[in-house]
Amino acid sequence: MATIKDVARVAGVSVASVSRVLNNGPKVSKATIEKVTRVMQELNYSPNANARALVTQKSTTLGVVIPNLVDPFFASLAQGVEQVARQKNMQLLLSTGLVSAETEMQAINLLIERRCEVMVIHSKKLSDQALIALANQVPGLVLIDRYIEAIAQRCIWLDNLEGGRIAARHFLALAHKNVACISSKYQIDDPRLRLQGFQSELLSAGVDIEPELIAYGEPTLQGGEIAVQKLLASGKSFSALFVYNDAMAIGAISALEDNGFKVPSEISVLGFDDVLLSRYSRPKLSTLNYPVEEMAIHAASIGIDLASKQPKNTANINCKYIPSLVKRESTSFNLT
């Protein structure tokens, strides 16, 4: 592959001149520009981004660390970041398949080795402490879907507690008293807070959830199916079901109908996230909107700003998002 030296030699100029036309540098004669440009095409020259990154000490790479791509929630997240990357002429370096604190750390370390200056991280396994250390090391690191007090201005997060409360209020408004819940088996903040907000708001209205009516499962379609089976196996009846996320909710509805329960006439089901799919499931899923793509765009923008020499937004940026209720068909007034 042709190098800058080849171009310089063939064009009969110095590498400095080639570099100048490459970077639209100042003070290059039109003649040189034309000559060099022609030779670059002749030789099919492509500048080496690694060499460039090395000498300029800056990467045009935007790192993203997420658990997987198959979950549409994370796909939207990645898509949001990609959008910003494209706009800023940067490229996405993507890591998925994270299962433990070690793999998360490893993924981030690889980004650091690449000297990636801005990164959008979705980490659930790493400790606050580890993340804080990382954030101090990498100015352009932004956490999404996680809140850590010490680096609050680097966290873009959703108020899950309030989300749970909103769900509870919705059920109360629909006169539901026998309420069940499906949460994630991974007891990280999100499911915990959603459940906590949900329970506390119900409780303050005098509604209690029986322990047998809280099931845990893998946060996937299949996980939702299995969790519903556990709920049904308890023998307790319920008229409303709040589910950790849309995927589980749709799995849950699927299993409920397979067991002869009508949604929403017999059981109302409320999801969380508002992934595209929820608009097209049958019945259309009532859910809480999680503006993840918008948040991802926000996160990437902040990261880029923070990584630049003079960051503008140091303080008082609003990093907290509140989910909003999207009422569709899977929830209805309790007639029992």
Q: Does 93 bind a second copy (CB under 8 A)?
A: yes
Give the closest residue to 108 by CA, choosing from 80, 142, 77, 157.
142
Give how far Cα 234 sits from Cα of 180, 211, 237, 244, 260, Å.
Answer: 11, 10, 8, 19, 16
Number of residues engaging DNA in binding (CB under 7 A): 31
Number of residues engaging a second copy in binding (CB under 8 A): 49
Query: Minimum CB separation from a second copy for residue 60, in Å?
Result: 9
Q: Does 28 bind DNA (CB under 7 A)?
A: yes
Binding track over 138-177 against a second copy, x by CB under 8 A = ----------------------------------------
Q: Considering only 39-47, 69-77, 286-294, 311-319, which stretch makes contact with DNA by CB under 7 A?
A: 39-47
Find tokens 């250390």 and name the residue. Answer: 133
For residues 205 and 177, is the Cβ–Cβ distance under 8 A? no
Non-local (6+) Cβ contacts of 278 within 8 A are 246, 249, 250, 271, 284, 285, 287, 326, 328
DSSP for 110-163 reads HHHHTT--EEEE--SSS-HHHHHHHHHH-TEEEEES---GGGGGGEEEE-HHHH
From 33, 53, 132, 326, residue interacting with a second copy (rule: CB under 8 A): 53
Q: Does 31 bind DNA (CB under 7 A)?
A: yes
Q: Does 130 bind a second copy (CB under 8 A)?
A: no
Q: Does 221 bind a second copy (CB under 8 A)?
A: yes
Q: Does 110 bind a second copy (CB under 8 A)?
A: yes
Q: Does 47 bind a second copy (CB under 8 A)?
A: yes
Q: Considering only 42-50, 100-108, 265-273, 291-299, which stretch makes contact with DNA by CB under 7 A?
A: 42-50
Judged by beta carbon distances under 5 to 8 A according to partner kind, the member of DNA, a second copy, none in contact with residue 215 is: none
Would residue 83 be called left, alpha or beta, if left means φ above 0 and alpha means ψ between -120 and 50 degrees?
Answer: alpha
Residues that bind a second copy (CB under 8 A): 1, 44, 46-51, 53-54, 59, 68-70, 72, 75-76, 78-79, 82-83, 86, 91-97, 109-110, 112-115, 137, 221, 250-251, 253-254, 257, 276-277, 279-283
